[in-house]
Amino acid sequence: MRGAIMDALNQAGGAPLIVGGGMAGAALALLLRHHGTPAVTLVESHAIAAGEPPDTPSFDARSTALSAGSLATLAKLGLLEAVLERAASIETVHVSRRERLGITRLHAGEHALPRLGAVVENRWFGHVLLRAVEADPAITLRAPARVTGIRRLADGYTATFEDGDSLDTPLLIAADGARSQTRDWMGITARHEDLGQDALIANLGLAEPHGGVAFERFLDDGPLALLPLPDQRMALVWTGPREQVDAWMALDDDGFLAALRERVGAAAPRLA
Ligand SMILES: Cc1cc2nc3c(=O)[nH]c(=O)nc-3n(C[C@H](O)[C@H](O)[C@H](O)COP(=O)(O)OP(=O)(O)OC[C@H]3O[C@@H](n4cnc5c(N)ncnc54)[C@H](O)[C@@H]3O)c2cc1C
């Protein structure tokens, strides 16, 4: 299937145009090139300083857990070593439910893998992806440049830019985020459902090493994850009903850590 799509794309002529130079758009530009697309145009509305870690909506202080499969893809792109320079390996996954006895532990060694995954800070991940984009002369990076509209052609699209410029493309790719305007312009519908839940995220310092363990704990409020980060830190994703999350956010540092400690259980490392 992937081969057929790539063949069709490569025969279409002209460069695919990716709207959005975030995690999805930048990675896709590199993957298209890896699979033989002769040229790609990547458009990002925020400025990207050459060689500098980016500061765009995708690439902030949040972190991303990359599965072993995603790491294998990065290895194919020649980017794994650079990503791992500032990532923490997940060697063990520990899954538990509060007030239940059963615990599941998965170890990389049991699956003959060097790691089950890795957690990387988005800004570093973006730096690695965008450096590779900049290094490829067949990828045209237009940033800052905002796509402000599209027009359907018989064999593709015309994208118009904020500065009045326009570009024809045989393939327009909407990678402009969860609330994609490009998707709306293309008439692709999306269904939104408010579950009344929010996720609180934070990077936490630890009083002891995390040992490459990722914790997932199911609580009555919702799931909580603690993912290993470099420098004896962990990324917290703590979900719950919206009013409950607001209440956690309003706590001072001591109150916050006390509420968190009470929920994470004894198996998690001590929080600083
Ligand atoms: C706490 C947290 C943890 C997460 N962890 C994970 C994880 O472990 N794994 C995972 O897969 N996902 C994770 N996600 C989700 C992840 O952040 C998003 O999936 C990812 O950022 C989406 O990237 P994107 O490139 O699709 O969109 P975005 O990050 O929204 O990027 C879209 C880009 O398009 C640009 N843009 C928008 N409109 C235009 C336009 N008209 N013209 C030009 N450019 C435009 C924007 O400036 C932006 O740079 C997490 C999210 C959060 C909040």
Q: What is the CATH number of the domain that holds 240?
A: 3.30.9.10
Q: Give the per-residue pLDDT at 9.
A: 66
- Ligand 1, from 23, 66, 227: best to mutate by most atoms within 8 Å of Cβ? 23
Ordered strands of the 197-205 beta sheet:
103-107, 92-97, 213-218, 223-229, 233-241, 197-205
Higher pLDDT, 63 or 14: 63
**In the chain, % of residues over pLDDT 70:** 95
Taking the CA of residue 227 as reference, the ligand 1 atom at the shortest distance is 8
CA of residue 58 to ligand 1 center, whole Å:
4
Q: Are residues 48 and 142 in the same domain?
A: yes
- Ligand 1, from 56, 64, 150, 226: best to mutate by most atoms within 8 Å of Cβ? 64
Q: Give the per-residue pLDDT at 150.
A: 97
The pLDDT of 133-149, averaged and rounded, is 97
> Taking the model in full, what pTM does it have?
0.91
- Ligand 1, from 176, 181, 185, 226: best to mutate by most atoms within 8 Å of Cβ? 176
CB atoms within 10 A of CB 21: 30
Closest residue CA from atom 30 of ligand 1: 177
- Tell which residue, 15, 17, 58, 57, has the closest CA to residue 174: 17
Expressed in angstroms, the distance from the first to the final Cα of the chain is 49
CA of residue 23 to ligand 1 center, whole Å:
6
Q: Are residues 170 and 252 in the same domain?
A: no
Q: Give the per-residue pLDDT at 77.
A: 98
Q: Which two tokens stand for residue 60?
A: 């902030």
Query: Is the predicted pLDDT of residue 149 greater than 60, yes or no?
Result: yes
Ligand 1 neighbours, Cβ below 6 Å, are: 19-25, 43-46, 56-58, 62, 64-65, 146-147, 175-177, 181, 201, 237
Taking the CA of residue 24 as reference, the ligand 1 atom at the shortest distance is 25
Identify the CATH number of the domain in which residue 153 sits.
Answer: 3.50.50.60
- Per DSSP, what are the bridge partners of residue 118? 66, 89
Q: Is residue 18 part of a domain?
A: yes
Contacts of 204 (CB under 8 A, 6+ apart): 226, 233, 234, 235, 236, 271, 272
How many domains are there within the chain? 2
**In the chain, % of residues over pLDDT 90:** 83
Higher pLDDT, 57 or 115: 115
- Tell which residue, 36, 39, 41, has the closest CA to residue 5: 36
Q: Are residues 115 and 130 in the same domain?
A: no
Q: Give the per-residue pLDDT at 5.
A: 62
Closest residue CA from atom 17 of ligand 1: 58
CA of residue 122 to ligand 1 center, whole Å:
10
Q: Are residues 9 and 57 in the same domain?
A: yes
- Per DSSP, what are the bridge partners of residue 184? none
CA of residue 98 to ligand 1 center, whole Å:
31
Taking the CA of residue 146 as reference, the ligand 1 atom at the shortest distance is 42
What DSSP character marks residue 154? T
Q: Are residues 255 and 129 in the same domain?
A: no
CB atoms within 10 A of CB 252: 8
Q: Are residues 99 and 37 in the same domain?
A: no
The pLDDT of 209-234, averaged and rounded, is 94
Query: Is the predicted pLDDT of residue 219 greater than 90, yes or no?
Result: yes
Closest residue CA from atom 31 of ligand 1: 22
Higher pLDDT, 54 or 134: 134
* Alpha-carbon distances of 46 from 20, 58, 187, rounded to whole Å: 9, 11, 25
Query: Is the predicted pLDDT of residue 4 greater than 70, yes or no?
Result: no
Q: Is residue 76 part of a domain?
A: no
Q: Give the per-residue pLDDT at 210.
A: 95
Q: Which two tokens stand for residue 200?
A: 């609180």
Of the pLDDT bands very low, low, confident and very high (cuts 50, 70, 90), residue 7 is low
* Alpha-carbon distances of 135 from 54, 66, 138, rounded to whole Å: 15, 23, 9
The pLDDT of 187-206, averaged and rounded, is 94
261-271 tens-digit pLDDT: 988 877 778 88
Could you tell me how many residues make up the chain? 272
Of the pLDDT bands very low, low, confident and very high (cuts 50, 70, 90), residue 170 is very high
Q: Look at strands 92-97 and 103-107 and give their pairing.
A: antiparallel
CA of residue 175 to ligand 1 center, whole Å:
8
Q: Is residue 254 part of a domain?
A: yes
Single-letter residue type at 142: R
* Structural domain for 24, as ranges: 2-63+123-185
* Mean pLDDT, rounded, of the chain: 93
Higher pLDDT, 93 or 100: 93
Q: Give the per-residue pLDDT at 203.
A: 93
Q: Are residues 248 and 128 in the same domain?
A: no
CA of residue 180 to ligand 1 center, whole Å:
10
